[in-house]
Structure 1
Amino acid sequence: MEGETTKRLATLVGCNYVGTRYELRGCINDVDAVRDTLVARFGFAPADVAVLTDGRGAEVLPTGANIRRALADMVARAAPGDVLFFHYSGHGTLVPPHHGDSGAEEEAIVPTDFNLITDVDFRQLVDRVPPGASFTIVSDSCHSGGLIDQEKEQIGPSVGSDPSAGSTAPARTARFLPYGAILDHLSAVSGMPSSHHVADHLVALFGADASAKFHVHGGSGNGSTPSTTPAPAPTPPRPDEGILLSGCQTNETSADVPAYEASGGKACGAFSSAVQSVLAAHPAPLSNRELVAKARAVLEEQGFEQHPCLYCTDANAEARFLSQDKKEETAVGAASPAMSAALL
């Protein structure tokens, strides 16, 4: 149960990939708005909100190692009853099976140094959360459905989904980096041919800081090709407190909305903006299921071809988003004026 000693801890990551051909515009704005909302509405202390962006003058860049370290530190500080939150705005990608593996492509986020953080990494983080604490992830990135490996689908392509057939929205930048683009970039840095799997490049470049997903193949970290020994079959996860709100389904992209389309003149993520608008319109606590369903409705009304998803246990689907208390309702009017002004 929450009490006076309950901690509310957050890690917020915004990657605009400034100065690269993969540049986005709204990710840092998303993080700024989310930080305001966490403090004003949900009772997070500013000192307990870690922010990693690639904006000018940023203190900690959102590299793969830095993001992993921030998340690991947050989980290590947690005790039963604490509320943990991770928001990510940036590119996502899909990783094909490694040589000798079987199965479908799997989800990953793309830090600024392209040191991918995968669904396996998020599963391992969730498994380390103390019983009774909650760990909510909001990922405004492409192909983000299922970003916690083996988490139960509550709203998604198979459950509770009714995607619209068409869209009236103009073309926008997608928060998606194709696998080939990631290989080309890493190949230029590693010196290895782009025909190698991304695991080969990442283990060679980042060693122990590469995703746990790629270390099951026994990569040496010295530039040699990792072993092709198949990964062991996954075991069913224990009941956990991981909660994923994804900006879209695994087979979809999430939109980065340019400033000229946002009424407030600030670029933003379509999903992040939809979440902020739903929270602003509903001061009473919302369940995770209600928040995702209402965000879906906002995006559908605006003509976006992306359908947010919810992955968590049955109990957490009905639990209050970020465990908002009734007494916190009065603070909602101050929540995120920056993002509220940027709604589409």
Structure 2
Amino acid sequence: MNASTGTETAPSSTRGVQLTPDQLEALKPHVIALDDGRLGREATPHPQTAQRFTTVEADIDAIFRTHLPAFIEEKGLGTVPIVLYAHGGLVGVEAGFATAHQQVQWWKDNGVYPIHFVWKSGAMTAIWDAIGRWVTGGSRGPLGDAKDFLIEKGARAIGGEPVWRDMKLDAAASSDKAGGARVFVTKLREWMKDNPDRASIHALGHSAGSIFHSHLVPVALEAGIPRFETVTFLAPAVRMDTFRTLLLPHTDKIGKLTIFTMTEKAELDDNCFTHYGKSLLCLVSAAFEPNPGTRILGLHKDIQADGAVRDLLEGPGGELVLTPNKNSGDRASGADSHGGFDNDGPTMESVLLRVTGLRKPIVSFPEGARSADPLDDIAMPDSPRGITGQTALCVGIDDYKQPSDRLKGAVEDTQSWGEVLRGAGFTVTTLTNSDATRANILGALFRMVTTAAPDDVLVFQYAGHGTFVTDEQGGDEKDGKDEAICPVDFREGQLILDDDLARIWDLLPDRVSLTIFFDSCHSGNGSRRVSESEVSLPRGVELTEQDEYEFRAARGMAAPRGRTKALERVKDSETDTTPEAAGETSRQREVLFAACESQQLAWETNGQGDFTRTVAPLLAEHIGRISNRAFFEKIVATFDAHRQTPSFTALDEHSEALLLSHGGNAVERTDDGGVSEAGSDGAVLAVGGAVAASGSRKDAAVAQILRGLADLIEG
């Protein structure tokens, strides 16, 4: 018994512990497992792991034929509350099952029959893992809002938006004509017709579970479910416009719609993982939705700004409960973090009282359970940084997964560049072959840029395939093509566009020199011709139609795995499409050393890139001694241009900057042919290829100010 309440206490459970086969088997009557929104094709009568747990249509039939009637008879209930629970989008399969294991018996002990939709939306955990690898806790790292700003930029750069959209597609697909959730509510309606007045229906969604239910509740009502007595969202991550479009028109068939969410102060005091100083909903709004600042239903400030939603929650059919609070009864909640709602006793008991009409729980919510949020366990490694402030990332890929894509000299190029840069005092990080994934490359660049301090010198070298892809989002390419480099996983849609790099370059502070050498093809047609010589290989690929589709699906621009209707439904529900206010156009700060002219091909011969073979030794000889223009003149004088012609583009002030100098300092030629520093601001970008990345001058200025404040505090 619970001494303070006089009620029984259910046994507690620890999330994150893998459930046993017997525990998984016991969840069969209460868990609907969905993969891409669909039911399984083959039954697993005795699943050994959560990953192997499937729900087929026969399992749903068994719920209404056997398990639910047995529960009603056992409890002697006239009307049984049925709760449809959807977990959050950051919860992986194991954590989703652990939540069900923790809650199912508690619901049943209190006279409620629970159905947990475990929708396999855990792909978002990959984003968290990537951010965790990027963000550093070193003394030179950014502080406070500066750190949050950088994490938001990094999460967007690595692809948080398309992964979040894919999760939204999973939610929508669950309720379309072939969706597993739709199959369930259709069979629920059939049972209710045969058993009138024997059940009341309730929906409960935590975080992205509100997205799931924003699709399911209207579909259930359309399928003939007469009414939802309660719909309760805990810290809902659904967009405000999606909620208004999908769910708001159906509130006449919802007895009470309640939102439990944090106060604005608690939202800003939350840490959704170790190094981000706000709640998850703030990150969703800033980094995962297409337009930064998208209004989210769970953000109190956004509720206040939306008249229709505010009126609903202030009227008789709705209610807003702000947390944490010291309320009693069905308005109590101690949740003070985004992940803390579904394991907070007062919150869950408040929901229970709303569902059952009880004055207090028969059995208290189990104590001691930890959040299903996987973020607390993320390790945050420090980034390498040279003592001299000279840092380089060198990337080379020979062993692409498809044999026809493989090269022979890219890794050798990277080793050559690494030797030259180490000899010049740089701290060099190397990514080659299987380690050179899109996430790893962008993550390493993010760390390198965001831990830079004024007067640091950065280098990014890449050797591998280059290509182009149709520009469907930015509209900033005159030829309609985005140039791209090809990580080892590029045929899975994981290209790195010039636009992706621009988002990271936006974070460069003034007086940090960034020099980039691309020994890859970025020519007009994005392909390489094979030489008649057997010792030459192309360093460019032309994407197939399937490759383009995989890319578009990975970026949320196409419906992966045939979920066309789900994509249409998601797009139709997102009506607030006003783009973020454009910042001031950037003034060109980059210096381009191109391996070839824009319509030419670049080559590798005898196991090394032609550009690298010439330029790497020249770099070792001339770092810090001559200007960028003079260095290009050395390249032209040395390079055998019978197959490709290096090119050079820069504003005059940067073309006269000292090669690989801090802050892009300009130089003046002396009488003896040497140079002396003249001093100018701006990052230097030297690219062996045809990618020119420009970004938001406003963002760069903000990052600079925040970094300056951090250095001042630390100093």
1:8 and 1:83 in contact (8 A); partners too: yes
Find 1:85's aligned residue among 425, 438, 459.
459
Q: CA distance change for structure 1 residues 119 and 230 in 2, over 3 Å: closer, same or farther? A: farther
Shift of 1:71: 0.2
Q: CA distance change for structure 1 residues 85 and 282 in 2, over 3 Å: closer, same or farther? A: closer
Letter in 2 for 1:131: D
Alignment of 1:178-193 (within 5 A): 178-180=542-544, 183-184=545-546, 186=547
Q: CA distance change for structure 1 residues 269 and 100 in 2, over 3 Å: closer, same or farther? A: closer
Find 1:251's aligned residue among 599, 608, 612.
599
My pick for the range that moved more, 232-241 or 136-145, is 232-241
Shift of 1:307: 2.0
Give the Cα–Cα distance (whole angstroms) in 1 for the partners of residues 562 and 472 of structure 2: 17
Query: What residue is the counterpart of 2:713 in the other structure?
Result: none
Query: What residue is the counterpart of 1:319 in the other structure?
Result: 657
Q: CA distance change for structure 1 residues 82 and 221 in 2, over 3 Å: closer, same or farther? A: farther
Check if 1:140 corresponds to 2:514.
no
Alignment of 1:278-297 (within 5 A): 278-279=618-619, 285-297=625-637
Letter in 1 for 2:658: R
User: Which whole-Å deviations, capped at 9, do the CAs of 1:234-287 have from their partners, x for residues lacking one?
Assistant: 8764346544422122322210112xxxxxxxx110001110243466587232
Check if 1:26 corresponds to 2:390.
no
Check if 1:238 corresponds to 2:612.
no
Give the Cα–Cα distance (whole angstroms) in 2 for the partners of residues 230 and 202 of structure 1: 23
| Higher relative contact order, chain-length normalized (CA < 8 Å, sep 6+) | 1
Shift of 1:21: 1.4
Check if 1:130 corresponds to 2:509.
yes
Partner SS, residue 316 of structure 1: helix
Q: CA distance change for structure 1 residues 76 and 222 in 2, over 3 Å: closer, same or farther? A: farther
Partner SS, residue 250 of structure 1: coil
Letter in 1 for 2:452: A
Alignment of 1:174-253 (within 5 A): 174-180=538-544, 183-184=545-546, 186=547, 196=549, 199-203=551-555, 224=563, 237-239=585-587, 241-253=589-601
Letter in 1 for 2:541: L
Q: CA distance change for structure 1 residues 231 and 119 in 2, over 3 Å: closer, same or farther? A: farther
Letter in 2 for 1:173: L
Letter in 1 for 2:516: I
1:52 and 1:61 in contact (8 A); partners too: yes
Alignment of 1:295-306 (within 5 A): 295-299=635-639, 302-306=640-644
Query: What residue is the counterpart of 1:15 in the other structure?
Result: 397
Q: CA distance change for structure 1 residues 280 and 199 in 2, over 3 Å: closer, same or farther? A: closer
Give the Cα–Cα distance (whole angstroms) in 1 for the partners of residues 404 and 578 of structure 2: 35
User: Which whole-Å deviations, capped at 9, do the CAs of 1:11-42 have from their partners, x for residues lacking one?
Assistant: 100011256211111111111111111121x2
Give the Cα–Cα distance (whole angstroms) in 1 for the partners of residues 452 and 560 of structure 2: 32
Partner SS, residue 36 of structure 1: helix
1:94 and 1:178 in contact (8 A); partners too: yes
Percent identical pairs in the alignment equals 31
Moved over 6 A (4+): 219-223, 225-236
Query: What residue is the counterpart of 1:148 in the other structure?
Result: none
Letter in 2 for 1:255: W
Shift of 1:200: 1.8
Shift of 1:92: 0.3
Shift of 1:309: 2.8
Q: CA distance change for structure 1 residues 234 and 110 in 2, over 3 Å: closer, same or farther? A: farther
Give RMSD over aligned pairs.
3.8
Check if 1:272 corresponds to 2:648.
no
Give the Cα–Cα distance (whole angstroms) in 2 for the partners of residues 233 and 22 of structure 1: 41
Alignment of 1:52-91 (within 5 A): 52-54=431-433, 61-91=435-465
Letter in 1 for 2:598: T
Alignment of 1:101-180 (within 5 A): 103-104=478-479, 105-114=481-490, 115-143=494-522, 172-180=536-544
Query: What residue is the counterpart of 1:212 in the other structure?
Result: none
Give the Cα–Cα distance (whole angstroms) in 2 for the partners of residues 234 and 90 of structure 1: 34
User: Which whole-Å deviations, capped at 9, do the CAs of 1:283-325 have from their partners, x for residues lacking one?
Assistant: 87232222233323433xx354222233444322211221289
Task: Tell me which protein shows more helix as a share of its residues.
Answer: 2
Query: What residue is the counterpart of 1:207 in the other structure?
Result: none
Give the Cα–Cα distance (whole angstroms) in 2 for the partners of residues 31 and 107 of structure 1: 21
Letter in 2 for 1:108: A
Structure with higher Rg: it is 2
Tell me the TM-score normalised to structure 2 length.
0.32
User: Which whole-Å deviations, capped at 9, do the CAs of 1:75-125 have from their partners, x for residues lacking one?
Assistant: 011011111110000000011232895741221100000011111112222
Give the Cα–Cα distance (whole angstroms) in 2 for the partners of residues 132 and 275 of structure 1: 25
Give the Cα–Cα distance (whole angstroms) in 2 for the partners of residues 313 and 298 of structure 1: 24
Q: CA distance change for structure 1 residues 142 and 231 in 2, over 3 Å: closer, same or farther? A: farther
2:420 and 2:619 in contact (8 A); partners too: no
Give the Cα–Cα distance (whole angstroms) in 2 for the partners of residues 235 and 243 of structure 1: 22
2:486 and 2:495 in contact (8 A); partners too: yes
Give the Cα–Cα distance (whole angstroms) in 1 for the partners of residues 580 and 598 of structure 2: 23
Give the Cα–Cα distance (whole angstroms) in 2 for the partners of residues 232 and 169 of structure 1: 51
Give the Cα–Cα distance (whole angstroms) in 2 for the partners of residues 303 and 103 of structure 1: 27
Q: Give the length in aligned residue pairs.
A: 258
Q: CA distance change for structure 1 residues 294 and 245 in 2, over 3 Å: closer, same or farther? A: same
Q: CA distance change for structure 1 residues 230 and 129 in 2, over 3 Å: closer, same or farther? A: same
Give the Cα–Cα distance (whole angstroms) in 1 for the partners of residues 555 and 541 of structure 2: 20
Unmatched tracts of structure 2, length 5 or more? 1-385, 525-530, 668-673, 675-715
Give the Cα–Cα distance (whole angstroms) in 2 for the partners of residues 245 and 70 of structure 1: 22
Query: What residue is the counterpart of 1:38 in the other structure?
Result: 421
